[in-house]
Amino acid sequence: MYPTEYIQFLIHFHGDYDYFECHEILEEYWKTKPRGNRDHYLVGLIQIAVSLYHQRRANWNGSTKMMKSAITILEKSGVPLQRLGINQVQLLSLLNDRLQSIHKKERFVPLFLPLSDPSLEKQCIELCQKQNLSWKDLNAIPGEYIINKHTLRDRTEVITERNEQLQKRKQR
């Protein structure tokens, strides 16, 4: 019923709070769609994850920019969000509250997406348990690698992809 990538996004979002991985998973899924027919609401969800990643690292400008953009996109995405089992009204309220928290430079706490489908949440909880993750645990503390993933990860794949895209553009 729900795309596997979306389920994985939710597990990272609410399980290990690996927002960088959330971004990677949904972006790869988004890229599988044909250009011009890509689901813009996925960009909104990606931007929430990126905003939270930045907020946790006290990158207030990056966090603000991404959250504002996510809100703008998701305000126009009621039906797609409903199909993903997300309550749009509650989500927008949470995001606007979070934006205020970011402006005040308040201490980071995880944000939980307002899922409206109990069977989706049950599936995610079960998958988290299989991975020894707690679902929506406010006391969970991600490790250094998750918090600073963009600086600590192996970038070989990213650099290779970037070079391939550059070569393609030069050939046009």
Q: Mean pLDDT, to the nearest integer, of 53-65? A: 96
**Going from the N-terminus, what domains does the chain have, and what CATH number goes with each?**
4-171 (1.10.3450.10)
Res 155: pLDDT: 52
- How many angstroms separate the CA atoms of 76 and 74, rounded? 5
Whole-number Å distance between alpha carbons of 89 and 79 = 11
Q: What pLDDT, in 10s, does the model give residues 119-148?
A: 999 999 999 999 999 999 988 877 676 677
The whole-number average pLDDT for the span 65-80 is 96
pTM of the predicted structure, to 2 decimals: 0.85
Give 154 or 118, the one with higher predicted confidence: 118
Burial 120-139 (b: 16+ CB within 10 A, else e): bbebbbebbeeeebebbeee
pLDDT at 86: 98
Taking the C-alpha atoms of residue 57 and residue 147, their distance in angstroms, rounded to an integer, is: 7
Q: Look at residue 35 in the predicted model and tell me its pLDDT.
A: 86
Task: Supply φ then ψ for residue 4, to 5 degrees.
Answer: -55, -40
